[in-house]
Each structure stands twice: as structure tokens, then as C-alpha cells.
Amino acid sequence: TAAMKVDGIDYLREMINYGYWLKRCEMEQMTLAITARKTVRQADDLFVKARLEEARKLYEIAWVDWRKIFDKYPSMITRDTGQNLEPSISNYIELLQQFDEELPEDFVLQNLVATLEFAPKTLPAPSIQFPSPSQPNRIKGSVPNTDYLDK
């Protein structure tokens, strides 16, 4: 019957999270979303190159754009969506630390950050070494001995 068919379709839609993906596709196709992604990417590239002032400006432009996007699509403030931005938000937090600042409490994406359940990225203790000009024979990925501290 028609009612059984509708129930079956509803069941399958729920199984694949159809409503979420429909909204996500709508959101991702927005010009603003494309611009925001490109801006975040440019900021990440500048961050890696240690061009911190420029990176900061672009991150802050991108965060405002993402805020506008999430205001239009509040159902997209999820862990899934946030995981795409998490590395960039971590970079931004690390960038702020370079200026002796912390992520402000009124950060425009604070509600997204809250869904991520991640601790702000801290600089890890050096554990993996790579060849360098001063030590070209160092094996990539080797864990250093701590006895070098005594020398």
C-alpha cells in the first residue's frame, strides 16, 4: 500500500540521514560557503608559512563568513561539520598563542567549538625527529635519545 511505501521511504531517509545531507549540500553550494572555505584555506597556507598577521586577518574574515552561514543553517552546527573546520580553528588558536592571546569567550564560532570537544591545540613535546641540515643522517621518524640534553 501507499502508506507502507511512505513508511519505507521515511525509514531509508533516516538511515542515510537524508535531511542532514540535503541541507549540507544546500549550504556547501552557497557562494559564501565557497568563499569561506577558500579564505580558511588561504589562512592555513599563510599560517604554515608563519605569515601570522596576514593569516589572522583571513581567519577572522572566514569566521565571520562561517557565522553567517551557520546563522542561515543552524542545523549544520554539528560535530560532523565542525570536524572539517577543527584543524583550522586549532591553527587559529595556536596563532593567537603566538600573540600571547587566547580564543576569546565571544568567539563567533564558539557554539561550533563547543560541539567539537577538543582541547585547544598545544605544542607537543618533540618526540619525532627528521633529518635537518645540521643532522642529515638522522633517520626520519626516529625518536630521539634524551642523552643529547646532557651534552
User: In whole angstroms, what is the distance from residue 138 CA to residue 125 CA?
Assistant: 18
Residue 123 is predicted with a pLDDT of: 44
Q: Lowest mean pLDDT: which of 17-21, 37-41, 50-54?
A: 17-21
Predicted confidence band of residue 134 (pLDDT cuts 50, 70, 90): low
- Torsion angle of C-alpha atoms 50, 53, 54, 59, degrees rounded to 10: 100
Of 81, 91, 105, 85, nearest to 56 (Cα)? 91
Q: Lowest mean pLDDT: which of 2-11, 33-42, 97-106, 121-130?
A: 121-130
- Is the separation of the CB atoms in 92 and 106 below 8 Å? no
The model's pLDDT over 54-111, given as tens digits with 9 standing for 90+, comes to 999 999 999 999 999 999 999 888 888 888 899 999 999 999 999 999 999 999 999 8
Most confident of 14-18, 89-93, 113-117, 139-143: 89-93
User: In whole angstroms, what is the distance from residue 68 CA to residue 59 CA?
Assistant: 14
The model's pLDDT over 117-133, given as tens digits with 9 standing for 90+, comes to 654 444 444 444 555 55
Which carries the bigger pLDDT value, residue 5 or residue 27?
Answer: 27
